[in-house]
Structure 1
Amino acid sequence: MTKTRLYMGVSAALLAAASVTFFAKSAPAADPAEVVVASYGGAFQDAQTKAFFEPYAKATGAKVTGTTGTGYPKVKAMEQTGNISWDVVSAESPAFVNEVKDDLLQPIDYSVVKADGIPAEFRKQYGVGYIKFGTNLAWSKEKFPNGVTAAQFFDPRVKARRVMPSDPTYSLEFALMGDGVKPADLYPLDVDRAFKVIDRVKDQIIGYKGASDQQALIQQGEIDLAYIANGRVNDAIKAGANWAYSWDASLSDTEFWAVMKGAPHAAEAMKFINFAVQPDQQAELTRQIPYGPTNVDALKLLDPAVAKDLPSNPDNAKLGAVLNSEWWHDNYESVKARWATYIMQ
């Protein structure tokens, strides 16, 4: 009996070991790492793909999916429905502060995200500022060979097909600067005055469009004047548009990387952000589209000729204003509702 039991015990053990080996070899491989990044499309997202998405996928083997539609309303809707399909969002500062206010984001894990080269003002609890961009007055050189001022943009006697941003942010500041308000005196915004300024040329505004659509209109020759992100109009010029732009009455802002609360791939999202805020990747984004890096070490990697045309260049910065995200944090909802009604009238 002892031998029999020993034999049976050994046989059972061998069978169990063989089963474990069999099932281990037969089990499917773990899914590759994945991260979904929401941005804006067009030239900016093309630049992000070359500077961030493709290099990260190559370096880590992770699948990076870039999608469009980022913005506070979409992030809020996803959180409210619980149908969260994004991990990382690229957010302008007004959207970012509202997403923080509504508890839509999760804290950045700075044990993973090494952001020592980024000034403290851009290292927030819920996001990392990774570029500075400008929104600028731009014009067709064929229509206006001598250039245009912000005051002329809002002068009804200056006939032109105009386009303005689709959001009240940037638009109201531009209107007030066009009406003579100095950049240092913009905030708190005189909203009533800004709407009256826009009213002067409303019959010449062909649309209120996002930056990607504005760029398309420029390249298709369908507009004469625009208030547009500097990188977008610069990209249109590279593509052959006979346009120019100015830093007068420009408005600079910061774009943040953030991770949605409940993101399906939160751990990979932190790793992606860490990769994207390093000097080499930030510098590469600037080479692709002229937005200013926040990592001070990235600036050292850039051609001085490129750095000269960035929002962070002191000569450019002094000609315009800096968007006050805190003011928009407190006023966005009421102004947005009024803006939505206004542009539909």
Structure 2
Amino acid sequence: MTSNKLHKGLLAALITAASITFSAQFAANAYAADVVVASYGGAFQDAQTKAYFEPYTKATGTKVTGTTGTGYAKVKAMVESGNITWDVVSAESSAFANETKDGLLQPINYSVVKADGIPAEFRKEYGVGYISFGQVLAWSKDKFPNGITPAQFFDPKVKGRRVLTSDPYFTIENALLADGVKAANLYPLDVDRALKVIDRIKDQLIGFKGGSDTQALIQQGEVDMAFGPNGRINDAIKAGANWAYSWEDSVSDIEWWVVTKGAPHAEEAMKFINFAVQPEQQAELTRQIPYGPTNVDALKLLDPAVAKSLPSYPENAALGVVLNSQWWHDNLQTVKPRWDSFIIQ
């Protein structure tokens, strides 16, 4: 009897130990793999989390860690130092062009990334274009019940608290278009003229802000008019801001998925991008934040009313221009120091 009890006690102890060991191993290996995705934070990254990050983890068991601060300078610093912590990066076209030029990216593996529904011009060796977005003019309907025009935004006689974006691209185009430059004559950009246009209303500027900060200023009632990303503006309106916006003289661009050269989880990065460029996921991102999908099959999955709010909708596109990323690729290093000096004066 005593021997039997001892045997049972030992067996129970072994089972408990095995259970503890298994639980510890399970906790340590709760995810099959990991991938780090760098983006912009705010409403846009919230939308990415709902459309891409969480569904991908659920579908594959891979942990997606979203981080912020994406930009050419940070990618360059990582690759040059060898301290690479980002796998996938969401890159604006000018950043993408410079990252490609400087050899900071690794080629997209199109045997893994199935992007047939995306037009060929958005399937590059080092990146896949996944959304179209526009920078638009927006205004408070309480302050301007009849709306404003781009020319009025840069007219110092039209009083109001303004905000412009912190990067030179888009904003220089907006200023020149508002000053009467025709779309066909926009490039090469007349930077001197653009800075003079912006300088007219500089004393009425709250500042030069990123998309997330612009949205916050709108929702907090701290500005009266803004140039900013259409998705951020739309989210501010959905959150209760009594604002409107126009596609007149808008500037649209493409956002790219890229993989950092030397990424620690490069194989998983390609799998994530493949998931993110499929029609269902692109359509879901648009439902979360109104940027246009590049996958033509995604457009078929959207409510027609939603489609009319996108920069790629034909009537909207006809009112604006497409950012010339090649010009910025060739000139950013010259323009950026002048711009940085100008906005802090």
TM-score when scaled to structure 2? 0.91
Give the distance between the partners of 1:266 and 1:288, measured in 2 at CA: 27
Partner of 1:258: 258
| Residue-by-residue CA offset, 1:146-186 (whole Å, 9 max, x unaligned) | 00100000100001110000000111000001101112221
Query: Structure 2, unaligned stretches of length 5 or more?
Result: 1-20
Q: Which amino acid aligns with 2:294?
A: T
Give the distance between the partners of 1:73 and 1:171, measured in 2 at CA: 20
2:304 aligned with 1:304: yes
Partner of 1:290: 290
Q: Which amino acid aligns with 1:168?
A: P
| Residue-by-residue CA offset, 1:83-107 (whole Å, 9 max, x unaligned) | 1100000001011000000100000
Spell out the pairing of 1:51-90 with structure 2 (5 A cutoff): 51-90=51-90
Q: Give 3-state SS (helix, strand or coil) of 1:105's partner.
A: coil
Give the distance between the partners of 1:208 and 1:74, measured in 2 at CA: 20
Partner of 1:189: 189
Partner of 1:319: 319
2:63 aligned with 1:46: no
Q: Which amino acid aligns with 1:329?
A: H
Q: Give 3-state SS (helix, strand or coil) of 1:262's partner.
A: coil
Give the distance between the partners of 2:148 and 2:80, measured in 1 at CA: 45
* Count of residue pairs brought into register by the alignment: 322
Q: Which amino acid aligns with 1:116?
A: D
Give the distance between the partners of 1:182 and 1:224, measured in 2 at CA: 27
Spell out the pairing of 1:14-163 with structure 2 (5 A cutoff): 31=29, 32-163=32-163
Q: Give 3-state SS (helix, strand or coil) of 1:253's partner.
A: strand
Q: Which amino acid aligns with 1:76?
A: K
Give the distance between the partners of 1:185 and 1:146, measured in 2 at CA: 30
| Residue-by-residue CA offset, 1:111-136 (whole Å, 9 max, x unaligned) | 00000110100000000000000000
Partner of 2:17: none
Partner of 1:198: 198
Give the distance between the partners of 2:203 and 2:183, measured in 1 at CA: 27
Partner of 1:167: 167
Spell out the pairing of 1:236-275 with structure 2 (5 A cutoff): 236-275=236-275
Q: Which amino acid aligns with 2:287?
A: R
Structure 1 stretches of at least 4 aligned residues deviating more than 4 Å after TM superposition: 25-31
Partner of 1:214: 214
CA RMSD of aligned residues (A): 1.4
Q: Which amino acid aligns with 2:79?
A: E
Q: Give 3-state SS (helix, strand or coil) of 1:310's partner.
A: coil
Q: Give 3-state SS (helix, strand or coil) of 1:106's partner.
A: coil
CA displacement at 1:206 relative to structure 2 = 1.1
CA displacement at 1:28 relative to structure 2 = 5.8
| Residue-by-residue CA offset, 1:258-316 (whole Å, 9 max, x unaligned) | 00001010000000000000000000000111100000000010010100111011100
Give the distance between the partners of 1:226 and 1:80, measured in 2 at CA: 37
Give the distance between the partners of 1:75 and 1:210, measured in 2 at CA: 18
Query: Structure 1, unaligned stretches of length 5 or more?
Result: 1-24
Who wins on radius of gyration, i.e. which is larger?
Answer: 1
Q: Which amino acid aligns with 1:196?
A: K
- Matched residues, percent identical? 77
Q: Give 3-state SS (helix, strand or coil) of 1:332's partner.
A: helix
| Residue-by-residue CA offset, 1:232-264 (whole Å, 9 max, x unaligned) | 000000000000000001000000000000101
Q: Which amino acid aligns with 1:262?
A: G
Partner of 1:336: 336
Give the distance between the partners of 1:73 and 1:248, measured in 2 at CA: 32
Q: Give 3-state SS (helix, strand or coil) of 2:143's partner.
A: coil
TM-score when scaled to structure 1? 0.91
Partner of 1:7: none
